[in-house]
Structures are given as C-alpha cells and as structure tokens.
Amino acid sequence: MNRLLAALVIAVAIAVTGLPAHSLAQTPKTRAPATDTIGKLKATKQINVAVSADSFPMSFIKDQSDPIGYSIDLCKRVIVQLGRAAGVPDLKINWVAGTVAERIAMVASRKADIDCANTTATLSRMKDVDFSSLIFIETGGLLVKDGGPVHQFNDLSGRAIGVISGTTTETRLDALLKQKLVNAKVVRVKDGNEAMDLIEKGSLDAFASDKLKLVGLAVQAKNPTQLAILGEDLSLEPLAFAVPRGDSAFRLEVNRALTQIYVGGELEGIFMKWLGPIGRPSGILSAMYLLNAIPQ
C-alpha cells in the first residue's frame, strides 16, 4: 500500500468512527501472550488432568488407584493424541481429583490442562474455560428412599433435598422450586458421598444430581434395594471436557481425538464397558455422537 492510499484509508476510518488520527496510526500495544498448552506439554513432558473421584461410571477412583470410567477411557485416548501433537508420545499423567467447581477453577488457572470428568458445558462456565466437543448427554434427577414419601418433584414441599454446590443441577433445582412453588429446604453438600450419608441418616429426603451419578451412588450404597431414582428429568446436561480458554490449537487436538474415537470403532467398546448394563445409546445420544464427529 502506497502512502497516499494509506492516508486515505486512515481518513475514511476517522470519518466513520470519530477516532483521533493518532489512535489509528499508532502501533498496537503489546497483547497478552496466547495460551500454548501444547508447548507446555512439550516442555514439561507431562499433563495435569482434573477428574472426579466419585462420579461412577464416568470418572471415579476405586481403592486409591488411578481414576477409571467412561470419561477416563475417552480422556486417555485424547492424551495419546495430545502427546503426538507435542512430540512427546509418553506424556506423564498427573491425575488431580476435585469437585466440578474445583475442576473448572483448576483449568481456568492453568493448574490443570484439561478436565476429564462429567462436567456440563454452560455459557456461564465459558467465561472461564472453553469446552471440547460433547462427550455425553445426561439428565438430572432425584434419588430417594424406595417406599418413602417422595414420589414426584411436588412431594418435596416441606422436605430436605441435597444438591452439590456449584453444579448446574443446583441452579436448575433452585429455579424449579421457585417455578413450581415448592417450599423445600435445600441442603448444599460437597459431593455425592456426603449426600448418601445424610440420606441414610434420614437428614435428607432426596438428592438431586446427574442420573448416571445417582445410579452409581445407588449401586455402591450399603442397601441399594432401599433406594429409587424418580422418572422425572430435572434438566438436560451436555457433558464435555473443559480446556483452557483461548487455546484453539489445544482444543483442536482434543476434538481431533474425540472424532477419531466416534468414527474409528472404539466408541462402542467403551460405551458397553461402562454403560452397557444401563442400555444402548438413546436416539439423542446417538445423534450427539454423529454431530460431534467433525469431518477433516
């Protein structure tokens, strides 16, 4: 561009925006450096992964071992792809367990490079982190004592219901109680184990959470036959891996790996291993896998 044309472009911009000439002509100030998680993996030869310790069958820890579950199996394949992209085929994995709020905070602060658990992708969370392609479609529900007084949501009036602080279920529960004019006592708990203890002691009449999490907690309870999960859905929960905000190169490799899983034949084995006893993928879940298999 010659000097005359450059001057004309600046003059037009000033006329349109009303900005002073020096604000357009000056060299932009130094921008904050872009996040380079892949570069970090290459330099450190390790990856920090946030997980849930009690979200069977998605992400849970048994007998003080490494985490296992549906999300973890997906995550391990994602880590292989990230290692290829970083040129480090044998990345050391540091598993870090935490609640959903703690996991989001870890990724936002770069203490964790990815959250591989059962985190719902929401617009409010996107202020702090980005998300991968979806890995599952979940619904929220209620766990109660079988044969107890709670048979539907409206039966919660005058009763105590537990919910994990910082979850999307907490937000949805508060909204539903107001919407349906149900006057229930909401007890904020740290995790599912605390809620189960309170239910067994009779301090809670119900516990609201993701239905798969509720199934896992019920199966592992002292008296699983004394528990029931209500048929009502409280919410729709699109699950994804949380990744550092603003790092498109890292998110690309995560999504590349997920696409390979969805179209490469591995998904059915992973699904049947962890979710097979519950049934085949629903129509909406099958559509989710198809729509999140991003073409090259």
Average pLDDT, integer, range 64-86: 96
User: What local confidence, expressed as pLDDT, does residue 34 receive?
Assistant: 62
Average pLDDT, integer, range 142-168: 93
> Is 132 in the same domain as 261?
yes
> Is 176 in the same domain as 247?
no
User: What local confidence, expressed as pLDDT, does residue 176 receive?
Assistant: 94
**Is the CB of residue 162 less than 8 Å from the CB of residue 198?**
yes
187 assigned to some structural domain: yes
The SS3 of residue 225 is helix
Model confidence band, residue 11 (pLDDT cutoffs 50, 70, 90): very low
> Is 97 in the same domain as 158?
no
* Distance in angstroms (rounded) separating the CA atoms of residues 244 and 128: 8
> Is 43 in the same domain as 131?
yes
> Is 158 in the same domain as 117?
no
> Is 223 in the same domain as 252?
no
Counting residues of the chain whose pLDDT is more than 90, the rounded percentage is 67
Mean pLDDT in the chain?
Answer: 87
> Is 249 in the same domain as 163?
no
> Is 99 in the same domain as 147?
no
> Is 84 in the same domain as 203?
no
The CATH number of the domain holding residue 176 is 3.40.190.10
111-129 per-position pLDDT tens digit? 999 999 999 999 999 999 9
The SS3 of residue 284 is helix
User: What local confidence, expressed as pLDDT, does residue 276 receive?
Assistant: 82
280 assigned to some structural domain: yes
18-48 per-position pLDDT tens digit? 434 333 334 444 344 467 999 999 999 999 9
User: What local confidence, expressed as pLDDT, does residue 278 receive?
Assistant: 66
Choose the final residue of a domain: 236, 251, 271.
236
Identify the residue whose tokens are 């085929």.
89
Strands 129-145 and 227-229: antiparallel
> Is 245 in the same domain as 133?
yes
14 assigned to some structural domain: no
Of 91, 62, 63, the closest CA to residue 79 belongs to: 91
User: What local confidence, expressed as pLDDT, does residue 35 receive?
Assistant: 78
* Count of the separate structural domains present in the chain: 2
> Is 45 in the same domain as 101?
yes
Say yes or no to pLDDT of 164 above 90: yes
User: What local confidence, expressed as pLDDT, does residue 64 receive?
Assistant: 77
CA torsion angle for 31, 32, 38, 41 (degrees, to 10)? 140
201-223 per-position pLDDT tens digit? 999 999 999 888 888 888 878 88
Average pLDDT, integer, range 187-193: 92
212 assigned to some structural domain: yes
Average pLDDT, integer, range 72-90: 97
Model confidence band, residue 3 (pLDDT cutoffs 50, 70, 90): very low
Question: Which of 34-38, 53-57, 66-70 is least confident?
Answer: 34-38
96 assigned to some structural domain: yes
Model confidence band, residue 270 (pLDDT cutoffs 50, 70, 90): very high
> Is 46 in the same domain as 131?
yes
Question: How wide is the angle at C-alpha 129 spanned by C-alphas 162 and 75, nearest 5°?
Answer: 80
| Residue length of the chain | 296
Domain that holds residue 192: 139-236
